[in-house]
Chains A and B, each alone.
Chain A
C-alpha cells in the first residue's frame, strides 16, 4: 500500500471513530442529549466501545477469509485504542455523573450491582492491552507472549456484553444484535483455523 493511501485511510478511520464523540459534543453544546443526558452520554460511549471492540475482533477472520484484505491489520491498534478511549469515557461518566466521585457509592455499587462489577472488570482487562499497544512493548514482549496477553480482549468483550445484558430490563432485546455478531466471530475463529490446517495438510501431502 502506498504511503499516501495509508495516510488517507488512517484519516478516514480516525474521523469515523470520532463520530460518537462528535455527536456527544454537539448534543451537549446544543442541549440535545435528551431528558437524561447522563444516561445518553454513558450509553453512547459504552455502545461505541463495544462496537469498536467487536470490529477490531473481526479483522483477523476477515483477513483469513480474504487474504487480499490483510492490510486491515494496520488499523486494528487504532480501533482497539479508540475502544479503550470510549470505555474510559463510559467509566468516567459513571464515576463523575452517576457517582459524583464518591468512593463509598462506587464501592457499594461494585460489590452490590453485578452489572457494574463485570463492567469494571471488562475495563480493567483493557488497561494492560492499551499500555502494551506500543511498538516498543510489542518488541519487549516478543510476538508470542504479546499475542497471548492480547487474547484477554475476548474475555473483556464477553464481560462487556454481559454488562450490557445485565443493565437492561429483563426481556429487553436491544443487546441481541451485537451478541449475535460476537458469537459469530467466536465461532469463526476455530472454523477458520481448522480450514487453514486442512489446506496446509492438503498442500504437504
Chain B
C-alpha cells in the first residue's frame, strides 16, 4: 500500500532543510487536484497534506516506497544526491522554465507545453555504435532502478534552484547503446515539430535544439538521464518524458525532451555555442571566475527565497568539483569555458 498513515511526525532524523515547505506542498497538491490526473488523488489530498508530507519523510526513511502517495515512479535514494539545501518548490519548478520551443517568456512553457506528445516516445541511437537502435520510453524507465537525485541547478542567466530529479546515471543508458571505441562525443537532439512547438520563432535558434558532451563527461556518474521530478513523471515544461541533467554545467547544457542520441568522433555543434560562441562555450561548466561577456557569474540568485536572502556565491563546478574537476585537469578553463 502506497498511502500509509504514519505514526506522529517522527522524522527528526531528516534535516529540516531537506523538507519542502508545507505551503509549497499544499500548493503542489492543489495543482495536482485540479489537474485531476488520478481520481484517487482527490481522496489523497482530502486525507491531508500533512499525511502526504509525512509520506515523503517516510519514503526517505524507508527506501523503495514511492515518494508521493500517488507518485507514478518507484524510486530509491542515491548517494549522489545533494543534501542540506532547501528544495525549490514544485510550483516554482514548473512555472519558471526556459524551454524556448514553447515561448521565450519563463512562464510560457507552463502554458504552452501541454501539446508535447510524451507517449509513445523513443530515443533513436545512432552514429558510432555497434548497431543503430530505437529505445522506447518504457524500456528506458525499466533499464535501471530510478533514483531520487537532488541537484543544484545553475542557469547561465544568474539564477539557481535545488531540484529533486528522478533518474539514473546516463552511463547505464550508454552501455545499452554499445558505442564503438572511436566514439569521443555524444550528441543529444530535442524533440521539435513546428506544429507542436508553435512558439519556435520567438528566437532565432536553428531548431531542433541540440547539445553535446565529451564521452568522459557523458560517462560521469553525475550525468543523469532524467525521467522524473519530485517523485513523479516529468511535467512537459521540464522536458518530459526524458532529458539529461548535468548539475555542474549551466542549465542550457541539460537538453530536454530527448529524441535522439548520436555518438560521434569530433566535437559536435551545439545550439547555444552556435548562436554565440563567445558567450556560451561548448563546455559551459559553472565557473565563477569566467564571466559571461555581458554579466558576472560570481554570484547567483536562488529562486524561491525572499529577495534579501537570494544572492549567494556561485561555486566552481556548481559545488560538484569532487566528482568532475579531474576531467578538466590541465585545461585552460578561460579558453575552454
A residues near B (Cβ < 8 Å) are 34-39, 97-98, 100, 108-109, 112-115, 166-174
Contact = CB atoms under 8 A, between A and B. Distances in A.
Nearest to B91: A35
A112 B296 contact: yes
B294 A115 contact: yes
A112 B297 CA distance: 11
20 contacts: A35-B91, A35-B92, A35-B95, A35-B303, A38-B301, A38-B307, A39-B159, A100-B311, A108-B296, A113-B294, A113-B296, A166-B294, A168-B104, A169-B203, A169-B272, A170-B276, A171-B204, A172-B100, A172-B104, A173-B201
Nearest to A97: B307
Contacts, number: 62
B31 interface: no
A38 B130 CA distance: 51
A112 B291 contact: yes
A101 B107 CA distance: 28
A201 to B, nearest CB: 45
Nearest to B293: A114
Interface string B70-96: 000000000000000000000110011
Interface residues of B, number: 31
B302 to A, nearest CB: 10
A42 to B, nearest CB: 11
Contacts of A100: 308, 311
Contact of B106 (A34, A109, A115): A34
Nearest to B304: A35
Given A112-B291, A173-B201, A173-B202, 9 more contacts: A36-B301, A38-B307, A39-B159, A115-B294, A115-B295, A167-B294, A168-B104, A169-B157, A174-B104
A168 B203 CA distance: 11
Contacts of A35: 91-92, 95-96, 106, 303-304
A170 B296 contact: no
Contacts of A168: 104
Contacts of B232: none
B137 to A, nearest CB: 28
A37 B306 CA distance: 9
B279 interface: yes
Interface in B91-134: 91-92, 95-96, 100, 104-107
